[in-house]
Structure 1
Amino acid sequence: MKLKRTLLSLATVAAGFAVCAPAMADLKLATAKNCMACHAVDKKVLGPSYKDVAAKYAGQKDAAAKLEAKVIKGGGGVWGGPVAMPANPQVSADEAKKLVAWILAQK
């Protein structure tokens, strides 16, 4: 019985790590690619928070493609701020896809 509880506890902890690991990995990628210099998950910095981005693009079928291009090529005019988003050529297409999926999942 004790072994069963121990195994169940370990399985629960492992499941928790499995759920958290992708979120942390993408935050780590965002930090590594300097995204967090202008953005934060839950507050405006220089650019909008990722939660605000997710809310703005919620339900838009082409949101991921638009944002992936914007991450790499930059651009302005969407948020009305004085500073346009700079291009990020150091971000690959696969990395942009991961970052955007993570951003759009923010609630």
Structure 2
Amino acid sequence: MVVAKTEIAVSEADALALAKKSNCLACHAIDKKVVGPAWKEVAAKYRGDATAEAHLINKIAVGGSGVWGSMAMPAHPKLSEAERTTLARFVLNLK
């Protein structure tokens, strides 16, 4: 499956491989809450928000807490901008 929010398509397999490599799956799943929210919940929350992609790219880089509860999401500053963009687009395109 290929999902696209912008003109650049994101491969589900590539995005999930990157999420696994980056340890995202320790706290997130596509359709159920683990430690952090289900990615489908994240997509629903930001659907229609023109700033969502930039917001998630930044959130992946710097981490934070308070949006989905008190548990902090760790920062992932070593991920490249392209990797953060891949993850953000993948999440935002889930339905």
Structure 2, gaps ≥5 residues long: 4-9
Tell me what 2:84 maps to.
96
Q: Which runs of 4+ in 1 moved over 6 A?
A: none
Tell me what 1:75 maps to.
64
- TM-score, normalised to structure 1's length? 0.77
Tell me what 1:47 maps to.
36
**Corresponding letter in the other structure for 2:78:** Q
Match of 1:63 among 43, 46, 52: 52
Residues 56-98 of structure 1: CA deviation (Å, up to 9, x unaligned) = 000000000000000010011111x231111112211110000
Q: Distance in 2 between matches of 1:63 and 1:74?
A: 15
Number of residues paired by the alignment?
89
Q: Identity over the aligned pairs, expressed in percent?
A: 48
**Corresponding letter in the other structure for 1:72:** A
Other structure's SS at 1:84 match: coil
Mark the structure with the bigger radius of gyration: 1
Asked whether the 8 Å contact 1:73–1:86 carries over to 2, the reply is: yes
Tell me what 1:10 maps to.
none
Q: Distance in 2 between matches of 1:87 and 1:44?
A: 19
Tell me what 1:84 maps to.
72
What value does the CA root-mean-square deviation take over the aligned residues?
A: 1.7
Asked whether the 8 Å contact 1:33–1:90 carries over to 2, the reply is: no
Of structures 1 and 2, the one scoring higher in RCO (CA 8 A, sep 6+) is 2
More helix by percentage: 1
Other structure's SS at 2:11 match: helix
**Corresponding letter in the other structure for 2:83:** E
**Corresponding letter in the other structure for 1:98:** T
